[in-house]
Amino acid sequence: MNTAFRLTLTCLCALGPGTFLSAQMLGDTQGSFTRADTLRGSIGPERAWWDVTYYDVSLRPDLDRHSIQGSTAIAFTAVAGGRRMQIDLQQPLVADSVTWEVQVFRDSAIVLADRALAFVREGDVLWVDLPDSLRAGEANTLRIHYHGTPRAARNPPWDGGWIWRRDAGGAPWASVACQGLGASVWYPCKDHQSDEPDDGAALHITVPDSLQAVGNGRLRGTTPHGDGTTTWHWYVTSPINTYNLVPYIGRYTHFGETVAGLEGPLDCDYWVLMGNEDKARAQFKQVGPMIACFEHWFGPYPFRADGYKLVEAPHLGMEHQSAVAYGNDYRNGYLGRDLSGTGVGLHWDFILVHESGHEWFGNSITTADIADMWVHEGFTNYSETLFTECQQGREAAERYVTGCRRNITNDVPIIGPYGVNRVGSGDMYYKGAALLHMVRHITGDSTFRAMLLEMNRRFRHRITGSAEVEAFLLGFDERTRTLLDRNLFDQYLRTVLVPELQWSVRRGTLLARWANAVPGLRMSVRLHLADGSVRTVVVNDRWAPVGTVRKRAGVSAVDPAWYVTLRHVKRARP
């Protein structure tokens, strides 16, 4: 976790065509907020003083009764003095005990032992009191034992929780989808995106011998218990979002390949239900070209140490880091549909591409507050356009990104309220991509690609926020400082207004302005004139001359790369 960003967070107090998306819509953006919302969504004093360094989760699900029993060890370091800790564990799960490690003298040696700690429950929060305050720099480990029947997902991945299914042969098939809802729906943790375990996480899943258990990162081994069950040990070395750490349980078969990556060979593993291997081998041939395309635009795959993995899931899909959930029925498009309405999106597998794009945006680059989730979803949505360009060319990519704009609703702003675990509009996907497409056309291809590469280098495995990302884009180099304006981001991220380019001609002078715009909006735009010429001009929110035109000539269209509207005004009044 980035300490400077964590300290900044301590001051936080406080669907239409676009809803058939691959990551969850994370809740209502309207209405009043409760104390529970603030506890869940903000960094209060009981979260601020300590930093998670490692999670070790052990889990034994009962696949018939749909219940779980487990324990979670939370290694942490104090970054300031503190004693009371907020641990999140959603009801109806029950915390049986909380202990921490202490040194004791036993058999002429100093050993570690668990000491019981007092805790009080308030809704989905455990208030844990340490015997003494820790000082900055001190480290320790909590262990929470728990059990119960966790919330079951009603419509995963959007309305998440535990997913209990059966495969076509009747065997159990289970997993979790919990983005927005929170990882505390199935294991105790510090359930906030701003704090990822610096040293990664371990996941130990005990299942019947007839099944396989898959987790994030790499398989470290299995332990048969001689009672008909086996524990599968998985370990992810990189920092990971709490909601990305998930188990997959089913009757799986495994195959893999190695693809060439910028940093060397990249292990790609595929876990699919038995009987689906042939379909998977054919469909997953898209992985190699996709990795090559994304590395060209974004830089090296960010989790090479943990490998890349696709796991067939009992839901549509999710960006689970190094263990991407796949449920698109081995079809191209989005369950066989093209979200752009152009046919272009039927040439590749939407879930495979979109959820894998999140490895760069969302998993490696993570926003502290989900109010800023457009950084995850806008960039990842645009990765679909870039993959289309890699596979089908620039013209197809332009058709795809502009076609997807039909899904924009402009219901509420893209950026949501901070500190209460709420996102803004689902427009973060398509409108976010439309914004980035304009940035690309304004700055030029070479600058835009350099920007994406530097963004992934600078923010790799880091916690950030929209304000920091916007500042980076605006100040990337002298060119972006000149061409981009901060009001551009306010316009598309913080309002629902679509700028209207108004134009008029007076005595051979072309006049233009932005209406339906935030005060001070300044944006360059490419215009197609009635005489067949194309001109790029800079337009402000007040009438001003932007060039000369021949008599009776005017603007016939705005370049479709810009998400704006156009209107002719007969008599402009500068």
Of 341, 357, 373, which residue is a domain's last?
357
pLDDT in tens, 512-548: 999 999 999 999 999 999 989 999 999 999 999 999 9
DSSP 244: G
> Where residue 5 falls among pLDDT bands split at 50, 70, 90?
very low
Query: What is the pLDDT at residue 550?
Result: 81
Would the pLDDT of 24 be above 70? Answer: no
Tokens matching residue 82: 């503190």
Contact 370, 26 (CB under 8 A): yes
Residue with tokens 């913080």: 494
Quickly list DSSP for 385-430.
HHHHHHHH-HHHHHHHHHHGGGG----S-SS--TTTT----GGGTH
CA distances from 441 to 484, 526, 536, 547 (A): 11, 9, 11, 20
Burial-class residue 574 by CB neighbours within 10 Å (0-12, 13-18, 19+). Answer: exposed
pLDDT in tens, 228-249: 999 999 999 999 999 999 999 9
Task: Report the alpha-carbon angle 77-83-86, nearest 5.
Answer: 80
CATH of the domain at 530: 2.60.40
Tokens matching residue 160: 């998440």
Please indicate, yes or no, if residue 296 is contained in any of the structural domains: yes
Residue type, 296: H
Please indicate, yes or no, if residue 451 is contained in any of the structural domains: no
Please indicate, yes or no, if residue 534 is contained in any of the structural domains: yes
Residue with tokens 């830089």: 299
Of 334, 357, 380, which residue is a domain's last?
357
- Report the C-alpha gap between 432 and 159 in whole angstroms: 23
Domain count, the chain: 2
Please indicate, yes or no, if residue 137 is contained in any of the structural domains: yes
> Where residue 114 falls among pLDDT bands split at 50, 70, 90?
confident
Please indicate, yes or no, if residue 139 is contained in any of the structural domains: yes
pLDDT in tens, 480-507: 999 999 999 999 999 999 999 999 998 8
Please indicate, yes or no, if residue 411 is contained in any of the structural domains: no
> Where residue 574 falls among pLDDT bands split at 50, 70, 90?
low
DSSP 29: -
Structural domain of 163: 3-357
Please indicate, yes or no, if residue 260 is contained in any of the structural domains: yes
Query: What is the pLDDT at residue 16?
Result: 32
- Report the C-alpha gap between 121 and 270 in whole angstroms: 40
Q: What is the side-by-side order of every strand in the sheet holding 534-539?
A: 534-539, 523-529, 555-558
pLDDT in tens, 258-299: 999 999 999 999 999 999 999 999 999 999 999 999 999 999
Q: Give the CB-side neighbour count of residue 10, counting CA atoms within 13 A.
A: 14
Of 357, 381, 398, which residue is a domain's last?
357
Contact 234, 202 (CB under 8 A): yes
CATH of the domain at 247: 2.60.40.1730
Please indicate, yes or no, if residue 378 is contained in any of the structural domains: no
